[in-house]
């Protein structure tokens, strides 16, 4: 999915990726025991703790809202 991080600040990050092959209804972003979802191929994550390392994992979710593809991940510091 070519996951990339842009606009990294002390409290937020914008994640971008390319749509994987096949059909997906949305994407699930997992980090620090939290989950976010989006139908887009980018998302801004807010309320991060300054100076903290985060690992973000993005999963494509199928139309059944259960089946997930392999994740792509990126680690970074705020």
Q: List 16's β-bridge partners, or say none.
A: 4, 42
The pTM of this model reads 0.93
28: helix, strand or coil:
strand
pLDDT digits (tens, 9 = 90+) for 7-63: 999 999 999 999 988 888 999 999 999 999 999 999 999 999 999 999 999 999 998
| pLDDT attached to residue 1 | 82
Nearest one of 17, 5, 77, 14 to 43, comparing CA atoms: 14
| pLDDT attached to residue 22 | 84
């Amino acid at each position: 999915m070519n996951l990339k991080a842009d606009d990294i600040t002390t409290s937020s990050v914008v994640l971008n990726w390319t749509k994987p092959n096949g059909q997906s209804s949305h994407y699930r972003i997992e980090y620090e025991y939290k989950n976010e979802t989006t139908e887009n191929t980018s998302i801004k994550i807010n309320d991060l703790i300054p100076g903290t390392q985060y690992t973000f994992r993005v999963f494509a979710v199928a139309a059944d809202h259960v089946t997930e593809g392999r994740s792509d991940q990126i680690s970074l510091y705020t």
